[in-house]
Amino acid sequence: MTDGERDRAAAEADRIEAEVAARIAPSAETVARVEGARRELVERVREAARARQSPLVRALVAGSAARLTFLTDRLDIDLFLLFPPELPRDRLREEGLALGHAVLSDPETRYADHPYLRGRFEGFAVDAVPGYAISDPSRPLSPVDRTPFHQEYLSARETPELVGQVRLAKQFLRSLGVYGSEARTEGMSGYLVELLVLHFGSLRALLREARSWRIPVRLAAPTLDPPGCPPRSP
């Protein structure tokens, strides 16, 4: 391929990427609705916790709805209800479900490691998931306890440009049928996609690297800080 052909190919790739990025980016109205629902949801949970004198330590929205890395037609809000580490597991379930019922409409109990609620809030699907407010992410008590650390780690590093690249990567993987960690897909989770884009800097850089991958692939955690970003413990 000549230099001219490479330049034309790169320009065409830029054009396609920009076109898709614009198509899948949420509108300003959608972003405002998500951010408003996120704030109101947390405040409603705090009010419900005070009303029932619940031992809730913290409520937060994490995941793609918090970082605006969602694909609009696959938007769920993940609400985490965090309780003291010494709270017995049966009380954790009881309090988590009670607070979820207090703030969500059409609640439906679902099961993973322990029960959580799927319901609706201001037009959005919401998963209300109980967990423990731990201080050491290396010692979780439930599968979701590291979530606040994941949220802090990515939020501190993702620029608007990287957020756009994350959406492109998710859309690309969805077109291949490998986006989503649920059992029916057994693909790449949204969190993993965000880490990979953060690590390589863009979708195209990730794809160039992935051409030489042989499963299993291992990436050293310290390299997940992009150039110019000081390392910070997640």
Give domain 28-142's CATH number out of 3.40.50.720, 3.40.50.150, 3.40.640.10, 3.30.460.10. 3.30.460.10
Q: Given this model, what pLDDT does residue 63 score?
A: 93
DSSP string over 25-44? SPPHHHHHHHHHHHHHHHHH
The sign of the torsion formed by the CA atoms of 208, 211, 212, 213 equals positive
Q: Given this model, what pLDDT does residue 111 score?
A: 84
Q: Given this model, what pLDDT does residue 206 score?
A: 94
The CATH code belonging to domain 160-224 is: 1.10.1410.30
- Taking phi first (over 0 means left), then psi (-120 to 50 degrees means alpha), and beta for anything else, what does residue 114 get? beta
Q: Which two tokens stand for residue 73?
A: 């037609």
For CATH 3.30.460.10, the residue range(s) in the chain are 28-142
Give the integer Cα–Cα distance in Å for 30 and 200. Answer: 28
The structure's pTM equals: 0.86
Q: Given this model, what pLDDT does residue 146 score?
A: 94
Provide block-wise average pLDDT over 10 residues at a time, the chain (234 residues).
79 90 95 96 97 96 96 93 96 95 94 86 95 94 93 94 96 92 78 94 93 85 46 40
Give the integer Cα–Cα distance in Å for 225 and 52. Answer: 42
For CATH 1.10.1410.30, the residue range(s) in the chain are 160-224
Beta carbons of 34 and 85 less than 8 angstroms apart: no
